[in-house]
């Protein structure tokens, strides 16, 4: 960590002059929303939040930051979950850059299935613009009403559509990026094929603002499904869920657009704390519940026929115990809303130790067995809130405090629980961060588990692109 120093007033005035006084926030109340993360795990300070309105202003900010060796911290919608978008404690001279003003949908090209957007565009706004053009932008997250596409790109966000469409990395065709020197990398390609050297775009997707600031992006669009069918399914074991997944893949192929895996505790929390009063989707509780979606490019009838065939076969084979199919579009949305509420429904239950891990899909049942045993050996009364995207092996393996415990006492076990879970993840050759990123939360752990050659190469890339070390220092890599 850099020494704690304050920002020189003359330098602060030079930064403020780039965006104008109105968009250079210095008052404590104005800055407050920017300096606490979404989970309230990190709270820091900043002397200045800049809200540029153009790529030229971003360029001037970074050029000045390199000249004066001033740390800069880019922030999107501040919905990140690993502390990547706020300064480290002690970085009292770090200037924050919020791209919320740069939020235009520049154009939608339905013929080429592309969209050009500015980095501050809200994900839900992008989804609607695609829908208005009879297209689909499939990135879908619980925070889509406030997260910005630049942040999604910086963290390589995942969400519920990865099974069919891939992570954010797979949805980005081209980027405009301002480098720490102020140079602007114009990579706004709409080409499906371009084999002219290194893929520079992918240096910045998932880099969490440590190499530059994304200011525009060309996104991939897809044809809208002609119809979808959605069901909740009850099963006894993770092995049953894996069996159902493989049956569904075989029957639906690329039409399997959702397969979400939910523990009984996670569903119970969500029913109790959902934003709107709701009933359990199934009449009786089940150890595990699956939210499955099938889409068809031909018709809703075909989607329902495929889904009902999958469920009928699974019932006959005693793979599933119960199922309910949504009978309307409104019910489909209600089913999905339950899943989207799951992340936030844990908060009323007290302190939570969270993991965003991935293992090979076929290893999910074995991981759960080992992880559950490890956690309960440390805190026998812990409540395991396990849910996630089983179709791509990504689990949000979260641990809620025992009933009646003090949060401070529970968090005293955090390191032991993290170490146990990450050790098990390692035995399956999995990842400690499937879709949330590294930020400051997992930086030190990454330094221990990452392949040494890979880690050294990452540091060399960082030094080459950002020799002054101004870009989001202390995130992802130790500095």
Q: 214 with 175: CB under 8 angstroms?
A: yes
Q: What are phi and psi of 156, to 5 degrees?
A: 50, 55
Q: 77 with 149: CB under 8 angstroms?
A: no
Structural domains in the chain, sorted by start: 9-101 (3.30.43.10), 105-223 (3.30.465.10), 227-341 (3.30.70.2190), 347-441 (3.30.70.2740)
Task: Quickly count: other Cβ atoms within 10 Å of residue 328's Cβ.
Answer: 8
Whose structure tokens read 């032991």? Answer: 416
Q: What are phi and psi of 193, to 5 degrees?
A: -135, 125
CA distance 95 to 111: 41
CA distance 247 to 235: 14
CA distance 228 to 174: 30
pLDDT of residue 149: 98
pLDDT of residue 6: 85
The DSSP output letter for 299 is: -
CA distance 392 to 340: 17
Sign of CA dihedral 370, 374, 377, 380: negative
Burial of 369 (0-12, 13-18, 19+ CB in 10 A): middle
Q: 272: which 2 tokens?
A: 């109790």
Give the DSSP letter string of 102-141: ---EEEEETTTTEEEEETT-BHHHHHHHHHHTTEE-----
Q: 337: which 2 tokens?
A: 């809303």
Q: 94 with 31: CB under 8 angstroms?
A: no
Q: What is the pLDDT along the chain (479 residues), one digit of tens a residue?
A: 344 568 999 999 999 999 999 999 999 899 999 999 988 888 899 999 999 999 999 999 999 999 999 999 999 999 999 999 999 998 999 999 999 999 999 999 999 999 999 999 999 999 999 999 999 999 999 899 999 999 999 999 999 999 999 999 999 999 999 999 999 999 999 999 999 999 999 999 999 999 999 999 999 999 999 999 999 999 999 999 999 999 999 999 999 999 999 999 999 999 999 877 788 999 999 999 999 999 999 999 999 999 999 999 999 999 999 999 999 999 999 999 999 999 889 999 999 999 999 999 999 999 999 999 999 999 999 999 999 999 999 999 999 999 999 999 999 999 999 999 999 999 999 999 999 999 999 999 999 999 999 999 999 999 999 999 999 999 999 87
Burial of 40 (0-12, 13-18, 19+ CB in 10 A): exposed
pLDDT digits over 350-408, tens only? 999 999 999 999 999 999 999 999 999 999 999 999 999 999 999 999 999 999 999 99
pLDDT of residue 5: 63
Give the DSSP letter string of 228-246: EEEEEEEESSHHHHHHHHH
Q: 373: which 2 tokens?
A: 């045993």
Q: 434 with 356: CB under 8 angstroms?
A: yes
Give the DSSP letter string of 41-79: S-B---SEEE---SHHHHHHHHHHHHHHT--EEEESSS-
pLDDT digits over 287-330, tens only? 999 999 999 999 999 999 999 999 999 999 999 999 999 999 99
Q: Minimal CA–CA distance to 217: which of 172, 248, 182, 186?
A: 172
pLDDT of residue 278: 82
Task: Quickly count: other Cβ atoms within 10 Å of residue 90's Cβ.
Answer: 15
CA distance 181 to 193: 29
């Amino acid at each position: 960590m850099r020494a704690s120093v304050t920002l020189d007033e003359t330098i602060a005035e030079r930064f403020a002059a780039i965006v104008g006084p109105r968009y250079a926030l210095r008052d404590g109340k104005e800055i407050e929303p920017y300096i606490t993360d979404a989970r309230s795990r990190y709270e820091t300070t900043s002397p200045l939040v800049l809200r540029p309105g153009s790529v030229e202003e971003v360029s001037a900010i970074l050029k000045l930051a390199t000249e004066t060796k001033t740390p800069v911290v880019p922030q999107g919608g501040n919905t990140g979950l690993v502390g990547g978008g706020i300064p480290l404690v002690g970085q009292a001279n770090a200037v924050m850059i919020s791209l919320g003003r740069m939020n235009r949908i520049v154009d939608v090209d339905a013929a080429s299935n592309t969209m050009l957007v500015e980095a501050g565009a809200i994900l839900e706004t992008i989804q609607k613009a695609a829908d208005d053009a009879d297209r689909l932008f499939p990135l879908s997250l619980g925070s889509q009403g406030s997260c910005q596409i630049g942040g999604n790109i910086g963290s390589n966000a995942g969400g519920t559509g990865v099974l069919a469409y891939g992570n954010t990395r797979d949805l980005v065709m081209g980027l405009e990026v301002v480098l720490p020197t102020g140079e602007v990398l114009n990579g706004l390609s709409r080409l499906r094929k371009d084999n002219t050297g290194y893929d520079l775009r992918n240096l910045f997707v998932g880099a969490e603002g440590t190499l530059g600031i994304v200011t525009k992006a060309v996104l991939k669009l897809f044809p809208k499904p002609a119809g979808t069918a959605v069901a909740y399914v009850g099963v006894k074991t993770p092995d049953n869920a894996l069996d159902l997944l493989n049956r569904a893949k075989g029957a639906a192929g690329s039409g399997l657009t959702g397969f979400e895996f939910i523990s009984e505790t996670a569903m119970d929390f969500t029913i109790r704390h959902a934003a709107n009063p709701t009933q359990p989707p199934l009449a009786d509780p089940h150890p595990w519940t699956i939210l499955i979606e099938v889409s068809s490019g031909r018709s809703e009838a075909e989607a329902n026929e495929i889904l009902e065939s999958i469920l009928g076969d699974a019932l006959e084979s005693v793979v599933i115990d119960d199922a309910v199919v949504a009978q309307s579009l409104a019910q489909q949305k209600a089913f999905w809303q339950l899943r989207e509420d799951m992340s936030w429904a844990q908060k009323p239950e007290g302190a939570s130790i969270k993991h965003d891990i991935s293992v090979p899909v076929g290893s999910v049942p074995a991981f759960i067995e080992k992880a559950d045993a490890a956690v309960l050996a440390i805190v026998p009364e812990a409540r395991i809130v396990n849910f996630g995207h089983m179709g791509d092996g990504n689990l949000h393996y979260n641990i809620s405090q025992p009933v009646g415990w003090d949060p401070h006492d529970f968090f005293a076990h955090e390191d032991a629980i993290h170490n146990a879970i990450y050790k098990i993840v390692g035995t399956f050759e999995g990842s400690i961060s499937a879709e949330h990123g590294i930020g400051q939360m997992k930086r030190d752990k990454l330094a221990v588990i990452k392949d040494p050659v890979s880690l050294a190469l990452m540091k060399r890339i960082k030094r080459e692109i950002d020799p002054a070390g101004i870009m989001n220092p202390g995130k992802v890599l130790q500095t």
